[in-house]
Amino acid sequence: MARREKANYIIRSVSHALDVIEQFFGEADELGVTELSKRLKLHKNNIFRLLATLESRGYIEQNKATENYRLGVRSLRLGQAYVGRMGILRQAHPIMEALVKQCRESAFVAVSRRGAMVPLDSVDTDQPVRLVSQIGESLPLHCTAVGKAHLAFEADADLKGRLPEGLKKFTGRTVTERPALVQHLKAIIEAGYAVDEGEFLDDVSSIAVPIRDYTGRMVGTLAVSGPSYRMSSERIEKDMVPTMKKAGNELSSRLGFNA
């Protein structure tokens, strides 16, 4: 008997359920039944039943205040299961462990998501006073080392075009003038790394380098963070920059990047 094409095995209701979930991959954080019905060209009753099914399993949740729907916690767990198996995290973890031993500060890997940087994995130092990365937390682009590294080394658009619309002030050291930030990012490109010395959080410093894959595309940033009293400018420049550049190059090499 001839084998049937895989397309013949597709279950339409499952396909529609996945269509619903994928509508939340864009700009909209929340969507209503009417909007989903228009987008997917399905009757509202069908959309409601799909949402109810997905909600019962935790992949979709309803905002009771707006009565609109958004991705649920189960979707986050699904995403975490995926990124946990990504090559970047498998390859990054031993490198972060080595960094922590060398620098005696916490290390983490972050990727760009919806105009922010999101830590995906971290290794903490055993120092009594240390920075603990909040996995999944959104970090601003313009005033964190990982964010500035992304802005400087991402090659999808011109430098000014990559800047956020508003440059929010977090501390007295935050750069909020776009021309000044553009010049700062050019210096980062020249240096090959980015530093944040109390620009996002007072008394917290970090250094970040880009991570590239076999295509040469930037796929994330590798960073080390700690209290500013331990991470002085002199220590960062003298001790940490060479270590971070070496670690970033090694991780990129493991992902197939050939400098």
Q: Which residue has the tokens 């992304």?
A: 150
CA dihedral over 29, 30, 35, 40, signed as positive or negative: positive
String of DSSP letters for 23-63: GGGSS-S-B-HHHHHHHHT--HHHHHHHHHHHHHTTSEEE-
Q: Please report, in tens digits, the pLDDT of each residue of the chain (259 residues total).
A: 445 566 677 899 999 999 999 898 876 789 999 999 999 999 999 999 999 999 999 999 999 999 999 998 888 777 766 655 566 788 888 999 999 998 888 999 998 887 889 888 888 887 776 666 677 788 999 999 999 999 998 865 556 666 766 788 999 899 988 889 989 999 999 999 999 999 999 889 999 999 998 778 888 999 999 998 888 888 988 888 999 999 999 998 888 787 6
Domains of the chain plus CATH, in order, are: 6-78 (1.10.10.10), 84-254 (3.30.450.40)
